[in-house]
Amino acid sequence: MSVMENPAALAAREEDALAPLLAEIRARRDEFAAQRFVPKDFIAQLKKAGVYRAATPQCFGGSGMSPMGFLQLIERISAADASVGWVASFGSASVYLAALPRETQAKLYAKGPDLTFAGGLFPIQPATQVEGGWMVDGTWKFASGSKGADVLGVGIGAAVPGQAGSKPRTAVLPPEQVEIIDNWDVMGLLGTGSHDLKVSQQFVPEEWTFIRGGEPTIDEPLYRYPTIAYAAQVLAVVNLGVARAAIDEINQMSGGRVAITGAPKLADRSYVRIEVAKAEAKLRSARAFLYDATGEVWNSILAGNPVTPEQVSLLRLTAVEIAKVGNEVTQAMFGLAGTTAIYSHHPLQRYLRDAAVVKQHAFLGEGIYDGAGAVTLGVPPMPGFL
C-alpha cells in the first residue's frame, strides 16, 4: 500500500530541485543583461527544468502542468532574475500553438516536447494570401527570447477571410527564415532579448498559420483556459518575483552597516519597519488574489464548465493588479534603501528598472481596469478585452 506524500514535503522537494538552477541564474544574471539575451545553453537548462513542456499537449509529451503551477514556477525564477523569468514565461506559448492543425503540431513536437517559441506579433503586417498559404514580409517588434527560440511567429493580416472576428493570424517560421534585428536597448528587462524580427518575402503554408487565441485543435483542459488572459498572467507574475526579491534585499540590508550620516540601521527605524510590513501585506494580498482566481477558474474548467466572460475578466484583472502592486512594492523598497541604492551595481537598481518595464506592457496597462469594470457593471468592454 502506497502512502501519499505530504504536500508540504512535496513542495520542499521541488524547491530543492530548482535551487541549483536559481543559483546559476543569480550568478549569471549580469552576463545575461550585458549581452541582452538569455543564451541557448541556459535555455537548455530551462528545458531540463520542464519550463518548455509545461504547455505542450500531453499527447505530444507535455507535462500537463496547471496554470497555477506554471505561474508559481515563473514567480520563483523571476525572484532570481526578471529577464530569465520573462523569457521562461513563454513556456506557456504552446497554448497559442494549440490552434495549429494537429498534423502540424505533430511535426513541431517530433523531436520532443521541449519547444521554445518566440513571437513578434505586432504591429500586424499585411500579408498576401496565395495558393496554399501566405507571402509574408515585414518587421515586428518585441520578440522576447528570439535568440533562443526553436520556432518564431509573426503577426499577419487582420482576420481570416470568410471568418468572423478580428483576431490576428500568426505565421510560424523556422529561425533561418527570419532575421533578428539586434536593437534591444532599454532601461529594464535587459536580458530578455526582445529584438525586432524581419521577414523578407517568405512563403508560409496555410497549415503553419493560426489565429492567435483561436479555437484549439486539441482538447485538453489547459487549452480551455482563456489564452490572452493567461498570456497576461505569465508576464505579470514576473513582478511578484521581483517585488519579493526587493523585500528580501531590504531584509538583508536592515541589520547591516550604519548609514554614512550616522543614522540608525534600517531595522532600528520605525518608518522602515512600518513600510516593510505594509509592503508584505500588499504583496501577499495581490498574490493571493492571483492564485485564488486562477485556481477557481481552473477547477471550474476541470469540472467541465465553459469559461464565462466574467471569469476571463477576473483573470485579466489579476494580471494588471499584480503587475501594478509588484511595481509599487519594488519602488517602496528602493526608497527605503536610501543613497546606497543609487549605485548601478546595487540589486535594487535592477529590481526597480525591471518592475517598471513589466508594468509598461500593453497587456498590463490601466485600460485593463476599464475593461474589467465594464464587465462587472454589465456594459460592453473595449474590443479585444474578452
Cα(308)–Cα(131) distance, integer angstroms: 38
pLDDT of residue 163: 47
pLDDT of residue 191: 98
- The residue among 158, 182, 211 that closes a domain is 211
pLDDT of residue 3: 44
How does pLDDT run across 135-150, given as a tens digit for each residue? 999 999 999 999 999 9
Q: Is residue 199 part of a domain?
A: yes
pLDDT of residue 94: 93
Number of domains, the chain: 3
Task: Give the Å distances, CA to CA, from 312 to 67, 196, 215, 221, 363.
Answer: 14, 30, 16, 15, 13
What range does the domain containing 32 cover? 7-96
- Tell me how crowded residue 12 is: count the other CB atoms within 10 A of its CB: 11
The whole model's pTM is what?
Answer: 0.92
pLDDT of residue 11: 53
Domain of residue 305, CATH code: 1.20.140.10
Regions of the chain with pLDDT less than 70: 1-15, 158-167, 256-263
How does pLDDT run across 56-110, given as a tens digit for each residue? 999 999 999 999 999 999 999 999 999 999 999 999 999 999 999 999 999 999 9
Q: Are residues 136 and 90 in the same domain?
A: no
Scan for cell 520605525, then name that residue. Answer: 270
pLDDT of residue 135: 96
pLDDT of residue 162: 46
Q: Are residues 156 and 192 in the same domain?
A: yes
